[in-house]
Structure 1
Amino acid sequence: MQWILSLYITMFPVILAGVFNMLLLKIPFLKSRCKPIDGGKNWTDGKRIFGDSKSVLGFWLMTLLGGFMELFWGLLLQGLGETKRSLLYLYFENAPGFNFLIGMLFGFLYMLFELPNSFIKRRLSVSASEQGDRRRGLKLIFFVLDQIDSMLGIMLCLGILVHLTPVQTVLAIFLGGFTHVLVNCLLILFRVRKYL
């Protein structure tokens, strides 16, 4: 149980960065500047590469927010005398430079690992809002993938950095996915998000 609490304490800045990324991209000024990563281009099958929901601004905003949130979180934990509650600080010094860089890395991985899922969904014509339409098998598969894709890269990286066992890494990915669902439910409740 203590390990799970430490995992959440370690990952809280990424969760915050994800929420703030979504909120900031809803501001009309920023929303109007969201250019898709794929430049609106199609793949050889005639379908979009990633779609409109994956934007250059969203990608880099999440990367920067990850850095700033990790920086803030490290300072807060230090101020509260709880530095050792984060798995990262069992192996690395709680230093502003490290925090900003590791936060940016986590933010970057969060966005990067969403792209393969988006690419596959475009190939199979799976709608982001309808999650597979009437194709129940696809609906379930992509629902699970949507929850864990961004966590996959982060947890693999964290696992290497803090020497997680393979079992702990898999558990961390699924805990991340479960948390993703809970956070999305809250965002739907507050009308920030329309669907899971």
Structure 2
Amino acid sequence: MDLVNFGYNLLSIFVFILPAMVANGTPVIIHGLPPIDMGKKWRDGRRIFGDGKTWGGFLSGIIAGLIIGGIESLIVWHNILFDSLIASIGALLGDLTASFIKRRIGLERGAPAPLLDQLDFYVGALIFLYLFAGKVFNLYAELAFAVIIYALHRLTNYTAYKLKLKSVPW
């Protein structure tokens, strides 16, 4: 694959993942309503997800992802609202899955889990885009974008920490 095609593949991933990126970051700012797990514990005695995963955050993430998809639909060559919905839901479910895994291995809310914390939403969005929207991206571009996502995630979390939106910088 030449550099132009690789760049086009990266741009394509960006267009379809941007709503997921926004959906993933929105619950840090807009949250509330009851926790998704309603305070319930798993059979290991630990919370299923924890207080940080709320219905308000989940719903606001989906709405924010759809807004970004609507804006993108005005800019790009076709309507990607459905893809934005799918990517946003996948991102938020990927984040919930990571939270579930962290609780199962005994990590509390805010405890670092390198790579899992940074790539959970990205992997969830890619899986959902593939399963429910039939989107297939170049594997090398997906991996390169994972590196970009990792760096952006670290930067945005550090910024949110400095702005006192998060209690930890990761």
Q: What TM-score do you get using the length of structure 1 for normalisation?
A: 0.70
Deviations 1:41-94 (A, max 9, x none): 11111111111111122112211221121102221x2xxxxx3xxxxx5xxxx1
Matched, 1:118 2:99: yes
Deviates more, 1:7-16 or 1:40-49: 7-16
What letter corresponds to residue 152 of structure 1 in structure 2? V
State the number of aligned residues: 161
Deviations 1:163-182 (A, max 9, x none): 32333323333322222112
Deviates more, 1:122-131 or 1:107-116: 122-131
Choose from 122, 125, 139 the match for 1:166.
Answer: 139
SS in 1 for 2:40: coil
2:59: which partner in 1? 60
Q: CA 1:169 to 1:178, structure 2 compared with 1: closer, same or farther past 3 Å?
A: same
> How far apart are 1:154 and its partner, in Å?
1.5
| Structure of higher CA gyration radius | 1
> How far apart are 1:9 and its partner, in Å?
4.5
1:15: which partner in 2? 21
Q: What TM-score do you get using the length of structure 2 for normalisation?
A: 0.79
> How far apart are 1:162 and its partner, in Å?
4.4
Q: CA 1:105 to 1:158, structure 2 compared with 1: closer, same or farther past 3 Å?
A: closer
1:102: which partner in 2? 83
Q: CA 1:44 to 1:179, structure 2 compared with 1: closer, same or farther past 3 Å?
A: same
Higher RCO (C-alpha under 8 Å, 6+ residues apart): 2
Unaligned runs of 5+ in 1: 26-30, 78-82, 84-88, 132-141
Q: CA 1:143 to 1:24, structure 2 compared with 1: closer, same or farther past 3 Å?
A: same
Unaligned runs of 5+ in 2: none
SS in 2 for 1:37: coil
CA contact (8 A) 1:14 1:70 kept: no
CA contact (8 A) 1:37 1:50 kept: yes
Q: CA 1:44 to 1:102, structure 2 compared with 1: closer, same or farther past 3 Å?
A: same
1:36: which partner in 2? 35
Q: CA 1:123 to 1:19, structure 2 compared with 1: closer, same or farther past 3 Å?
A: closer
